[in-house]
Amino acid sequence: CSNLTAFAKLYSPITGLSINALIIIMAVLSLFFIIPSGLKTVAWTDFIFGCLMVVVGVIVAVVTANMAGGMTHVIETVPSEIVEFPGAFFSVGLSTVLLWIFSLTPGGMTNQMYYQRILAAKDTNQVRKSLLISAICCMIAYVWAVIVGLSVRSMNPSLEGEMATGWLMDQMPVWVVAVFSGLVVCTILSTISSGVQSVVVNLNRDIYRVVKPDVEDKKAVKVSRILSVVIVFTAALVAMFFPQVLSLLVITYSYSAAGLV
């Protein structure tokens, strides 16, 4: 839901299309990725998109920092409280930080997309390797967010957070916008596809196959495809009626936290 909204908010100013129209377009595009081979499609596209994200992300970070006058200039022009250590960790307010920790951490721990990939691995060594790669990718993503986020803040201090990426894409050279647009689409498409496939696997294997244990594989695949369509368009409806990306993430992760408690 949140990724559908994010896509629509980013591309509405560029394309001139309404947010709801873009949500539907991305929902349909996601189905083309999921339906043919399910988890196999998602796994391969995640890998290809992941490699693309790292390469393009580095290009975008360098260009953005240069547009802002270099990181030294960026650090000097943004408010000191958001870059000083350790105060920057609490610059958004202690209550907000605690809310994020108590909602996002259990949300990550209960994320079915992670578990399904771990349980699909052939041996323990693959799991260890994948966890190490995940940790490295998380650090790369964190550094990228800091560089790009602070650079945008330096160039446009009054900008709302959720509008930052869309504004940045409007300021970049055309060739960078084209590359960056591809990165954003890949990231969002990959996440939506993974999320939908995760829910489908839970509904199909943990509920449908328990109720009907003798169901034929061919029929189970058909059920998976039907569930994919239902889930994607349910998500699209939620995204249309709840267009705040960060709020939606915090709220949904809070349900995971409440369940664990």
Q: What is the pLDDT of residues 55-79, one digit of tens each?
A: 888 999 999 999 999 999 999 999 8
DSSP classification of residue 216: -
∠ CA(202), CA(227), CA(187), 5° rounding?
75
% of the chain at pLDDT higher than 90: 17
Roughly what angle, to the nearest 10 degrees, separates helices 174-203 and 19-34?
60
Q: What is the pLDDT of residues 88-112, one digit of tens each?
A: 877 778 888 887 777 777 767 777 7
pTM of the predicted protein model: 0.69
- CB burial of 63-76 (b: ≥16 within 10 Å; e: otherwise) equals bbbebbeebeebee
pLDDT for position 125: 83
Cβ atoms of 30 and 232 closer than 8 Å: yes
Handedness of CA 217, 223, 225, 231 (dihedral sign): negative
